[in-house]
Amino acid sequence: MLEELSDHIMDVAMNSVRAGARHVSVSVQSDAAKDRLTIAISDDGVGMAEDTLKNVVDPFYSTKVGKKVGLGIPLLKGAAEMCDGKFNIQSTPGKGTEIEATFVLHHPDLPPLGDVKETMFLLSVSNPEIRFCFRYDVNGKEFLLDTGEVRDILGGVPLNHPEVVAYLRRYVAGNG
Ligand SMILES: Nc1ncnc2c1ncn2[C@@H]1O[C@H](COP(=O)(O)OP(=O)(O)OP(=O)(O)O)[C@@H](O)[C@H]1O
Ligand SMILES: [Mg+2]
């Protein structure tokens, strides 16, 4: 089992990166009033044919070369279902993929969330050519990061330039 939900987010977002996405949206919403945690990740990558889509929830399915098991999706689905939540995946070849996992917030088996903003930071700076739109919402208090907007401001300076990385680190830490 992955230990924290942020590890699941990293894994599923990296699937989007490997799928050749140019634009990836990651939304994490924690709502105490609704007793619900929702993780949604969507991309404009290669997508999956219906056949593949049926197989992705199977741990023994992977298209990674030399790999016989693919655990990213089955583990997230398993975690959501263990917490009386739901898992939904939709995909269209040539268009992209959307994944949504929900969890009952007070469920005793809910894994720790982990450092969601750190995960968002790491995804941004390790994939500087991809536009990430992040939203982290805790009871209506939102943290937003659109790396496309940052890139526009930067002109030609890459998102993994050391000074930009330092700026993003401060921003993500909440005092940028
Ligand atoms: N966003 C996506 N776009 C296109 N194909 C995807 C996407 N996510 C998953 N897939 C396909 O589903 C397969 C299974 O994904 P999963 O994350 O479960 O395992 P994996 O990435 O192959 O291996 P692991 O996550 O264990 O390193 C992938 O190999 C890939 O073919
Ligand atoms: Mg994976």
30 neighbors 105 (Cβ within 8 angstroms): yes
Q: Which of the pair, 70 or 42, is modelled with greater confidence?
A: 42
**What band does 60 get if pLDDT is binned at 50, 70 and 90?**
confident
> Which ligand 1 atom sits closest to the C-alpha of 41?
1
Block residue for tokens 């089992």: 1
Nearest CA to ligand 1 atom 27: 70
Q: How far is the CA of 73 from the centre of ligand 1 (A)?
A: 7
- Helix/strand/coil for 168: helix
Q: What integer is the mean pLDDT of 2-25?
A: 94
pLDDT digits (tens, 9 = 90+) for 96-147: 999 999 999 999 999 999 999 999 999 999 999 999 999 999 999 999 999 9
Q: How far is the CA of 105 from the centre of ligand 1 (A)?
A: 26
Which residues, 6+ apart, have CB-to-CB distance to 147 below 8 Å?
124, 128, 130, 131, 132, 133, 159
Q: How far is the CA of 67 from the centre of ligand 2 (A)?
A: 11
The least confident of 41-55, 63-77, 140-154 is 63-77
pLDDT of residue 57: 87
pLDDT digits (tens, 9 = 90+) for 141-168: 999 999 999 999 999 899 999 999 999 9
C-alpha torsion sign, points 38, 98, 83, 134: negative
CA dihedral 153, 156, 160, 163 (to 10 degrees): -60
User: Could you tell me where the beta strands, DSSP code E, fall in 44-154?
Assistant: 87-92, 96-104, 131-138, 141-146
